Copies of this chain bind each other. A is one copy, B any other.
Amino acid sequence: MNNQSENALTDLVISRIKSENPRNQEILTKLVKHLHAFIKDVEPSEAEWFQAVDFLTRTGQKCDDKRQEFILFSDVLGVSMLVDAINHRSKSAITETTVKGPFHAAAQRYEAGENIARGSEAERGEATVVHGRVLAPDGNPVANATLDVWQSDDIGYYDVQDVNQPSMNLRGIFTTNAKGEFWFRTIKPAAYPVPTDGPVGELLRASGRHAMRPAHIHFWIKADGYHDIITHLFVEGDEYLESDAVFGVKDSLIIPFVKNSTPDQAAQWKVTAPFYEAHYDFTLAQKSK
């Protein structure tokens, strides 16, 4: 029998899936179910179908070792944050997570307090001190936790996007002391657009959406016996906090970057006034033993 109605076709495709792996069986079956439901709901013309094929093809071809356009596609459709939400449910005491984004790269280890802004001071932007602690759910400090941090410069570019920045600018790995404390010097990050020169840019324009992300610093925190946390800290007051192009903002991750013009306090942090000070305590979830 090869005279399928549209619904019978969906059932036929699903009936062919015979995976030895139950999870594969589930995912592939649900993929066909939802993909066919989308097609039946939209009823694409053949030209629209081909436009979709072409879009997906160009999205794959835009990817290279410094650019992941399919992650960006997932990000701007809210899929990345949905996967994040599904994987971090009901852990109220724990620091909330958000998207990893496409700009993480290998970084060097720094001593506490070192400055991740490279290049001459005049070029760097507004001096900023970030400090806080890494804690267990019971409030006890987590020593020897590593904080892999990365951020944009003062005009919104990451080093991997920008040949004018020194290599490994504005990224580095810090370690907490016995009290769970960390601190580092940097510059205040800026809001920036996600890359719009590829298919995802076309998608945003077709959706009438802007491409901006509010200013933030990325953190990937690891400690023995605890689950990793991948998150951001957002700069309070940023104009894009309510309309992040990748839906990554959570209220608990917005913190003040407090302007401080006191020379004595600047000297304590090894910066010159005026500078910005940002404080945050991260709480990690313990792994079950």
Establish whether residues B40 and A86, one from each chain, have CB atoms under 8 Å apart when the complex forms: yes
> Which stretch (A2-10, A111-119, A143-151, A162-170) binds chain B?
A2-10
The residue from B9, B30, B41, B71 contacting A81, defined by CB atoms under 8 A apart: B9
The residue from B20, B45, B251 contacting A3, defined by CB atoms under 8 A apart: B251
Q: Does A93 contact B (CB under 8 A)?
A: no
- The 0/1 profile, CB within 8 Å of B marked 1, for residues 1-37 of chain A is 1111110011011001111110010111011111111
> Which stretch (A174-182, A188-196, A201-209) binds chain B?
A201-209
A32 to B208, CA, bound (A): 15
A77 to B52, CA, bound (A): 15
A252 to chain B: closest CB distance in Å?
Answer: 8
Establish whether residues B42 and A79, one from each chain, have CB atoms under 8 Å apart when the complex forms: no
Q: Does A155 contact B (CB under 8 A)?
A: no
Given A6-B86, A86-B44, A243-B16, residue A31 in contact with residue B209 (CB < 8 A): no
Q: Does A57 contact B (CB under 8 A)?
A: yes
Establish whether residues B17 and A207, one from each chain, have CB atoms under 8 Å apart when the complex forms: yes
The residue from B20, B28, B58, B85 contacting A4, defined by CB atoms under 8 A apart: B85
Given A18-B207, A208-B18, A247-B4, residue A12 in contact with residue B57 (CB < 8 A): no
Establish whether residues A19 and B85, one from each chain, have CB atoms under 8 Å apart when the complex forms: no
Contacting residues, chain B, for A247 (C-beta < 8 A): 4, 9, 12-13
- The 0/1 profile, CB within 8 Å of B marked 1, for residues 30-64 of chain A is 11111111111111111011000100111111110
A233 to chain B: closest CB distance in Å?
Answer: 13
A118 to chain B: closest CB distance in Å?
Answer: 30
A37 to B242, CA, bound (A): 24
Q: Does A241 contact B (CB under 8 A)?
A: yes
- The 0/1 profile, CB within 8 Å of B marked 1, for residues 79-120 of chain A is 111111111000000000000000000000000000000000
A244 to B37, CA, bound (A): 22
Establish whether residues A85 and B13, one from each chain, have CB atoms under 8 Å apart when the complex forms: no
**Oligomeric state, in number of copies?**
2
Establish whether residues B2 and A82, one from each chain, have CB atoms under 8 Å apart when the complex forms: no
A108 to chain B: closest CB distance in Å?
Answer: 25
Contacting residues, chain B, for A36 (C-beta < 8 A): 78-79, 82
A67 to chain B: closest CB distance in Å?
Answer: 10
A42 to chain B: closest CB distance in Å?
Answer: 5
Contacting residues, chain B, for A5 (C-beta < 8 A): 85
**A/B interface sample: 13 pairs, CB < 8 A:** A1-B242, A1-B251, A2-B241, A3-B250, A6-B86, A31-B42, A34-B35, A36-B79, A39-B79, A39-B83, A49-B74, A60-B62, A61-B63
Q: Which residues of A contact B (CB under 8 A)?
A: 1-6, 9-10, 12-13, 16-21, 24, 26-28, 30-46, 48-49, 53, 56-63, 68-71, 74, 77-87, 203, 206-209, 241-244, 247, 249-252, 254
